[in-house]
Amino acid sequence: MSELLTPTGPAAAAHPGSAPTARHSGPFWAVSDSLTMVARSLRLSIRNPDALVTAIALPVMLMLLFVYLFGGAIQTGTAYVNYVVPGVILLCTSFGASMTAMSVCQDMVDGIIDRFRSMDIASFAVLTGHVAATVVRNVVSTSLVIVVALLIGFRPNATVGEWVAVIGLLALFVLAMAWLSATVGLIAKTPEAASGFTFFVMFLPYVSSAFVPVETMPSWLHGFAENQPVTPIIETLRGLLLGTPIGNNGWLALGWCLGILAVFFLAATALFRRQTTR
Amino acid sequence: MSRIRELAVEATGISKSFGAVEVLRGLSLTVEAATVFALLGPNGAGKTTMINILCTLLRPDAGTARVAGHDVVAERSLVRRRIALTGQYAAVDTLQTGEENLVMMGKLCRLGRAESRRRAAALLEQFDLLDARRRTVKTYSGGMRRRLDLAASLVGHPSVIFLDEPTTGLDPRSRQEMWGVIRDLAGSGVTVFLTTQYLEEADQLADRIAVIDGGRLVADGTPEQLKGRIAGRRLDLTLADATAYAAAVRHLGAQAIQHEPSTHRLGVAADGSAGQIRRILEDLHEHDIDVETLTQHSASLEEAFLSLTGQRPASRPADGNAEHGAADRSAGTDRDKETANV
């Protein structure tokens, strides 16, 4: 059995170690891994122009479509552009959601998740990377919508405090939708399926008070349109931006956002753990 | 064994089932440090499952495994710092450039920004990807992606590298290049653990081969041992009757490598020389053991595989020996036989 001992290289002791040059604690590396993953997700978004244009340009185009083509026929008691802007902002989030779901799903079906898992890193950072990139994409698309809206006559009367509340609520909604999309991405078998699944989320703003007052819809839709999460969020944004009555919509909006965020953060965490530890 | 070398992989009694399907059934194997080890088997033999267990991606249902000196379950983090996995599908971001992919891996391996860049540049050069470093991986050929994939595994200076079917789907030229890269790796002192469906590939690259089928080890040894034991040249002796057969079995002992009592046929490892045949025959004759006929059998590598696993290995149309793959089973085993009366 002399062939048993046929080394092809220098002794194993000569292996270079992979010890990190600087010693840092676990949390440091968890943050460092997450930042690396955020940079990765953002780079992947920029390199996917089709999806990026959809996520950023489509809301603006839809806003122009609504304001100039349909707006004249819709009676809202105010300039239609003022009425429609909060809804368009939520559309941005919905369009962005499909990109998040696709990216998460792509990572799970590609071999890359196994590579990350076989490394001594917090592989959960893959998900936080996608979620953080979603937030950044939304900041860009929402800002663009607001700038264009201001150009075509959107005249909010919000105070600084109200703007802060708007940004806070939007951030919460974006985060909730991002974790929902991540969950969809983890459930779907293919990126195409993940994208298709988020169509439902994309559709929600249409059946709400986002574009037309709920009263103008057929009565059988009222129940759904008034009680689905998007309506109180829209009404709250409208109230903050334009001074329309908010009533208890503020608390409802906050409750929906926090609820969705909690449920889907936990769902995504559990699904990711189940899919990555077998 | 004259001396004990460091073991890079030491797996004992590994079992794993998915639902009712038993994929691995008590598989044990060892790999010495700084060698190339090939896990060879047909599709569905359990190769990827075994690699996933050794890479800490799957927990075994039973058995223990140590990789680079650490237990794959209890010391997962420590194992992960010493290994790298290159899966069946290139695990790189197609929308990042080659350089970006490698720098990202460097940061995840905690090399720091400057060292990540240095390491990426060195690996791009080593794997002949310098010209393509600023292009997104989307534009790379299959061979280039595999090379980048391998470079990505090497960023963190692993001491054991796992390659799951590293040449599946590559054209013959890219496969040759990949073989060269793997040989270079082996020369640098890294332990390479690869899986393959191709005996030819295992033969070309590995210091030791373990053949598995149905989740069990069916043979292991150096390529030469495997070929000699199962294939290579074999002298098939047909004995006159059951008594002669039994006597020959007793007399030849370990020299006999294949036993077929029903047909009184005994296979003896041979080197193909006339002198050896004469010695065996004279030896048996002196002990009054009657040999009726003998056939000399020189099996191909693929027949070795076939006899071990009961399955024909995957064959590629581009291979020079494609006709071996095309031949059916009975034709394959009967080929190359010459019969002589004694």
Residues B177 and B47 both lie in one domain: yes
Taking CA–CA distances from B154, the nearest residue in chain A reads: A18
Q: Length of chain B in residues, anyone?
A: 342
Q: Where are the beta strands (DSSP E) in B182-325?
A: 191-196, 208-213, 216-221, 233-239, 256-260, 265-270, 291-298
Q: Give residue-wise pLDDT tens across range A175-204.
A: 999 999 999 999 998 888 888 877 777 788
Minimum mean pLDDT among A25-29, A166-170, B231-235, B338-342: which range? B338-342
- To probe the interface with B, which of A5, A119, A126, A273 has the most B CB atoms within 10 Å? A119
Q: Who has greater pLDDT, A215 or B150? A: B150
Cross-chain Cβ contact A8/B34 below 8 Å = yes
Residues B25 and B102 both lie in one domain: yes
Residues B202 and B258 both lie in one domain: no
d(CA B55, nearest CA chain A) in Å: 6
Query: pLDDT-based confidence at B62, cuts 50/70/90?
Result: very high
Q: Is B195 helix (H, G, I), strand (E, B) or coil?
A: strand
Cross-chain Cβ contact A115/B152 below 8 Å = yes
How far from each other are the two terminal CA atoms of chain B, in whole angstroms?
42
Helix H, strand E, coil C: the string for chain A is CHHHCCCCCCCHHHCCCCCCCCCCCHHHHHHHHHHHHHHHHHHHHHCCHHHHHHHHHHHHHHHHHHHHHHHHHCCCCCCHHHHHHHHHHHHHHHHHHHHHHHHHHHHHHCCHHHHHHCCCCCCCHHHHHHHHHHHHHHHHHHHHHHHHHHHCCCCCCCCHHHHHHHHHHHHHHHHHHHHHHHHHHHHCCCHHHHHHHCHHHHHHHHHCCCCCCHHHCCHHHHHHHHHCCHHHHHHHHHHHHHCCCCCCHHHHHHHHHHHHHHHHHHHHHHHHHHHHCC
Residues B56 and B82 both lie in one domain: yes
Q: Is residue B338 within a helix (H) or strand (E), and if so which, with residue range? A: strand B337-341
d(CA A170, nearest CA chain B) in Å: 30
pLDDT at B29: 94
Query: pLDDT-based confidence at B324, cuts 50/70/90?
Result: very low
A117/B130 Cα distance (integer angstroms): 28
Residue B2 lies in a domain: no
Q: Who has greater pLDDT, A110 or A277? A: A110
Average pLDDT of chain B, as a whole number = 82
Name, in order, each residue with C-beta under 8 angstroms of A40's C-beta and a sequence gap of 6 or more.
Answer: A129, B93, B96, B104
Residues B306 and B262 both lie in one domain: yes
Inter-axis angle of helices B142-154 and B98-108, to 10 degrees?
A: 20
Taking CA–CA distances from A108, the nearest residue in chain B reads: B91
The domain that contains B276 carries what CATH number?
A: 3.30.70
Whose tokens are 């020079």? That residue is: B320
d(CA A118, nearest CA chain B) in Å: 6
Residues B275 and B150 both lie in one domain: no
Count of domains for chain B: 2
Cross-chain Cβ contact A32/B110 below 8 Å = yes
pLDDT at B42: 84
Q: Which amino acid is at B138?
A: K
Q: Who has greater pLDDT, B4 or B107? A: B107
Q: Who has greater pLDDT, A18 or B4? A: B4
Residues B201 and B235 both lie in one domain: no
Residues B234 and B201 both lie in one domain: no
Residue B83 has pLDDT above 60, yes or no: yes
Q: What is the mean pLDDT of residues B50-72?
A: 93
B253/B280 Cα distance (integer angstroms): 13
Q: What is the mean pLDDT of residues A132-155?
A: 92
B61/B17 Cα distance (integer angstroms): 7
Q: Is A130 on the interface with B (CB under 8 A)?
A: no
Residues B231 and B215 both lie in one domain: no
Residues B43 and B158 both lie in one domain: yes
Q: What is the mean pLDDT of residues A231-255?
A: 91
Cross-chain Cβ contact A278/B77 below 8 Å = no
Q: What is the mean pLDDT of residues B318-342?
A: 34
Look at residues B165, B188, B220 and tell me which one is the last residue of a structural domain: B220
Query: Residue A131 is encoded by which pair of tokens?
Result: 């979620």
Look at residues B194, B220, B246 and tell me which one is the last residue of a structural domain: B220
B212/B25 Cα distance (integer angstroms): 10
Query: pLDDT-based confidence at A232, cuts 50/70/90?
Result: very high
Per the structure, the complete domain to which residue B305 belongs is given by 227-341
Residue B321 has pLDDT above 60, yes or no: no
Residues B207 and B147 both lie in one domain: yes
Query: pLDDT-based confidence at A23, cuts 50/70/90?
Result: low
Query: Residue B258 is encoded by which pair of tokens?
Result: 């294949």
Tell me which chain A residues have a C-beta less than 8 angstroms from the C-beta of B189: 9-12, 14-15
Cross-chain Cβ contact A44/B111 below 8 Å = no
Question: How much is the ipTM here?
Answer: 0.80
Q: Which residues pair with B266 in a beta bridge?
A: B237, B259
Cross-chain Cβ contact B191/A12 below 8 Å = yes
Q: What is the mean pLDDT of residues B87-94?
A: 83
Residue B103 has pLDDT above 90, yes or no: yes
Taking CA–CA distances from A39, the nearest residue in chain B reads: B104
pLDDT at B303: 60
Q: Is A15 on the interface with B (CB under 8 A)?
A: yes
Q: Give residue-wise pLDDT tens across range A41-85.
A: 999 989 988 888 888 888 899 899 888 888 777 777 778 888 889
Residue B306 lies in a domain: yes
Residues B254 and B185 both lie in one domain: no
Minimum mean pLDDT among A146-150, A236-240, B61-65, B266-270: which range? B266-270
Q: How many CB atoms lie within 10 A of CB B337?
A: 12
- To probe the interface with A, which of B21, B108, B111, B154 has the most A CB atoms within 10 Å? B108
- The predicted model scores a pTM of 0.75
